[in-house]
Amino acid sequence: MVKLWIISSNLPSKEISSQEKLWADNLSPTRRKQYIHARSYTRHVLSTLFNKPSLDIPLYAPPSNPIKLLNKNMGFTSISHCKNNLLVAWS
């Protein structure tokens, strides 16, 4: 099974982990906004898929690296973004 989500970049960001906040603090303002948006919506869509709170989704997601789900039983995820949208894929 494959699931895809396209999320507008105009939507307000959602929750990210404390580690993701630390990583975001070291980015430029533009890159920080993009990073927080991408990680927060990745967490959000996966939380809907797995029926768990977004901060309980076990992601390892440093900037400029592929996102990894730390629980192998939860599948795999990938993101891509452009100026106006974020694509989140899960399989």
Q: Which residues of 23-56 are buried (b: 16+ CB within 10 A; e: fewer)?
A: bbeeeeeeebebbbbbbbbbbbbbbebbeeebee
pLDDT digits (tens, 9 = 90+) for 28-65: 999 999 999 999 999 999 999 999 999 999 999 999 99
Categorize the per-residue pLDDT at 83 as very low, low, confident or very high, splitting at 50, 70 and 90. confident
Q: Mean pLDDT of all residues in the chain?
A: 94
- Please choose, from the candidates 69, 63, 77, the residue with its C-alpha nearest in 3D space to the C-alpha of residue 1: 77
Residue 81 has pLDDT above 90, yes or no: no
What is this structure's pTM?
A: 0.93
Categorize the per-residue pLDDT at 72 as very low, low, confident or very high, splitting at 50, 70 and 90. confident
